[in-house]
Chain A
Amino acid sequence: MLRVGLVGAGFMGAHHAAGWAATPATLAGVLSLDPAAVRSLVERYGGRAYASLDELINDVDVVDICTPTHLHYEMVLKAAAAGKHVVCEKPLARTIAQAEEMIAACERAGVKLLVAHVVRYFPQYAQAKALVERGEIGKVAVVRLTRASFRPRRALDNWFLDGEKSGGMLLDLMLHDFDYARWIAGEVETVFAKSVSAARPDAPGDYALAILRHRGGAISNLESAWAYPPPLFRTSLQIAGSHGLIDHPADSAVPVKVHLMADAAETPDIAVPASPLTDTPYTTEIKEFYQALVHDVPPRVTAHDGLMALRLAFAAIESARTGRPVSPQEV
Chain B
Amino acid sequence: MRLGIVSFAHLHAEGYINNLRANPEVDVIGFADDNPERGAHFARRYGIRQFDSYEALIAAQPDGVVICTENARHRPVVELAAQAGVHVLCEKPLATTLEDARAMIEACERGGVHLMTAFPMRFNAPVIEAKRVMESGALGRIYGANTTNQGKLPRYHSDYVRAWFEQKDLAGGGAAMDHTVHLVDLLRWFLGCEVVEVYAQLNDILYREAGVDVETGGLVMLTFEDGTFASVDCSWSKPPSYPTWGGLTMEIVGETGLLTVDAFKQVTAVYGREERARWPYWGSDSNQAMIDEFVAAIRDNRPPAITGYDGYRALEVALAAYTSAACGEPVRLPLI
Contacts and interface: CB of A to CB of B under 8 A. Distances in A.
Contact of A229 (B143, B257, B260): B257
Chain A contact patch, size range:
35 or more
Contacts of B253: 148, 207, 225, 227-228
Contacts of A51: none
Grouping DSSP codes into helix (H, G, I), strand (E, B) and loop, the B interface class, with mixed when no group exceeds half, is: strand
B251 A223 contact: yes
B267 interface: no
Interface string A154-179: 00000000000000000000000000
Interface string B194-220: 000101011111111100000011110
A126 B219 CA distance: 25
A237 B143 CA distance: 22
Interface residues of B, number: 45
Nearest to B234: A142
Contacts of A190: 201, 328
Grouping DSSP codes into helix (H, G, I), strand (E, B) and loop, the A interface class, with mixed when no group exceeds half, is: strand
A149 to B, nearest CB: 10
Interface stretch (B163-171, B180-188, B235-243): B235-243
A243 to B, nearest CB: 8
Contact of A221 (B144, B231, B258): B231
A194 B221 contact: yes
A217 B253 CA distance: 29
Contacts of A205: 143, 255
A209 B231 contact: yes
A207 B239 CA distance: 30
Contact of B217 (A142, A199, A223, A325): A142
Interface string A189-213: 0101010100110011101110111
Most buried by B among A207, A220, A229, A323: A207
Contact of B223 (A142, A194, A212): A194
Contacts of B223: 194
A211 B201 contact: yes
Contacts of B207: 242
Contact of A141 (B216, B229, B242, B257): B216
B238 A245 contact: yes
Interface of B: 141, 143-144, 146, 148, 150, 197, 199, 201-209, 216-219, 221, 223, 227, 229-231, 233, 235, 237-239, 241-242, 251, 253-258, 260, 328-330
10 closest Cβ contacts across the A-B interface? A240-B237, A141-B205, A207-B143, A194-B229, A223-B146, A142-B217, A219-B201, A141-B217, A209-B231, A211-B219
